[in-house]
Amino acid sequence: MVEIKVFEEGEKEQKPVPKSKGRAGVPEHKKKLVQTLVNLIDKNNIIAMVNMENLPAKQLGVMRAQLRGKVVLLMTKKRFIMLALEQSKKHNIKELEKYVKGMPALLFTDQNPFALFKLIKKNKSTAPIKPGQKAPNDIIVQAGPTSFSPGPIIGELGSFRIKAGIESGKVVIKSDAIVAKEGEEVNEKLAALLTRLGIEPMKIGLNIVAVYEKGEILTKDVLDVDEEALINNMRTVASECFNLAMFIVYPVKDTIKLLLSKAHNEAKAVVKEAKVMTGDNVGEVLAKAEATASALKAKVTEKQSPSEPSTELKVPEAPKEEKKEEKPKEEAKKEETTEAKKASEPAAEPQKPAEKKEKKEAKKEKPKKKAKKEKPKKEKKKK
Clarify whether residues 234 and 252 are in a common domain: yes
Clarify whether residues 61 and 31 are in a common domain: yes
Backbone angles phi, psi at 136, to 5 degrees: -70, -30
Statement: the pTM of the whole predicted model exceeds 0.75? no
Q: Which residues of 29-45 are buried (b: 16+ CB within 10 A; e: fewer)?
A: ebeebbebbbebbeebe
Clarify whether residues 68 and 116 are in a common domain: yes
CATH code for the domain in which residue 176 is found? 3.90.105.20
In whole angstroms, what is the distance from residue 170 CA to residue 148 CA?
A: 6
Clarify whether residues 210 and 244 are in a common domain: no
Clarify whether residues 215 and 169 are in a common domain: no
Clarify whether residues 112 and 216 are in a common domain: yes
Clarify whether residues 211 and 256 are in a common domain: no
Clarify whether residues 166 and 268 are in a common domain: no
Clarify whether residues 161 and 212 are in a common domain: no
Residue 305 domain-assigned (yes or no):
no
Identity of the residue numbered 257:
K
Clarify whether residues 19 and 108 are in a common domain: yes
Domain of 292, in residue numbers: 226-297
CATH code for the domain in which residue 38 is found? 3.30.70.1730
Residue 104 domain-assigned (yes or no):
yes
Clarify whether residues 116 and 19 are in a common domain: yes
Clarify whether residues 216 and 230 are in a common domain: no
Other C-beta atoms closer than 10 Å to the C-beta of 179 total 21
The SS3 assignment for 255 reads coil
Backbone angles phi, psi at 221, to 5 degrees: -65, -35
Residue 324 and residue 375 in contact, taking contact as beta carbons nearer than 8 Å: no
pLDDT tens digits, the chain, 383 residues: what are they? 445 555 454 444 445 545 444 445 778 888 888 888 899 888 888 999 988 877 777 777 777 777 788 888 888 888 999 999 898 888 888 888 888 888 898 989 888 888 888 888 887 778 888 898 888 888 999 999 998 888 888 888 888 889 988 988 899 999 999 999 988 889 999 999 999 998 988 878 788 889 998 889 998 888 888 788 888 999 999 999 999 998 998 888 888 999 899 888 888 888 878 777 777 777 777 888 888 888 888 888 887 765 555 544 454 555 555 444 444 555 656 666 666 666 555 544 555 555 555 666 666 555 554 444 444 444 444 44
How many domains in the chain?
A: 3
